[in-house]
């Protein structure tokens, strides 16, 4: 996505939940937010690791594909856990257009 006057360029990822066909666009920071909320509210559970957050933005297609694969693994791991997938944070992440 192109930046505005006060924002930098960024990448959005389309998340589609099947079979319900919920479709939302998420930035890396949205995945990072979900990971943080799950770690906070489920301290005894294994929360799958996230890709490293760094301060330099890379729009290189290989980097974007790699990060997308990491985020997909993260979501699939959450979906495989009955407790985590029923979290209000996960449902909000998958269904709401804006998570702010």
Output the average pLDDT for the chain: 82
Condensed to tens digits (0 to 9), the pLDDT of residues 82-94 reads 999 999 999 999 9
Residue 70 has pLDDT above 60, yes or no: yes
Q: Please state at what angle helix 61-79 crosses helix 28-41, rounded to 10 degrees.
A: 30
| pTM for the predicted model, two decimal places | 0.78
The helix or strand, by DSSP H or E, that contains position 14, with its residue range, turns out to be strand 13-17
The C-alpha angle with vertex 61 and arms to 93 and 15, in degrees rounded to 5, equals 20
Confidence category of residue 100, pLDDT binned at 50, 70, 90 = low
CATH of domain 13-95: 3.30.1520.10
**HSE (side-chain half, CA atoms, 13 Å) at 34:** 29
């Amino acid at each position: 996505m192109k930046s505005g006057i006060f924002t930098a360029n960024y990448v959005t990822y389309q998340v589609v939940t099947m079979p319900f066909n919920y479709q939302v666009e998420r930035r890396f920071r949205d995945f990072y937010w979900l990971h943080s909320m799950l770690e906070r509210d489920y301290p005894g559970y294994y929360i799958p690791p996230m890709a490293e957050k760094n301060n330099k933005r890379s729009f290189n297609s290989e980097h974007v594909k790699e990060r997308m694969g990491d985020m997909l693994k993260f979501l699939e791991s959450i979906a495989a856990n009955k407790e985590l997938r029923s979290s209000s944070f996960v449902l909000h992440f998958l269904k709401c257009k804006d998570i702010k």
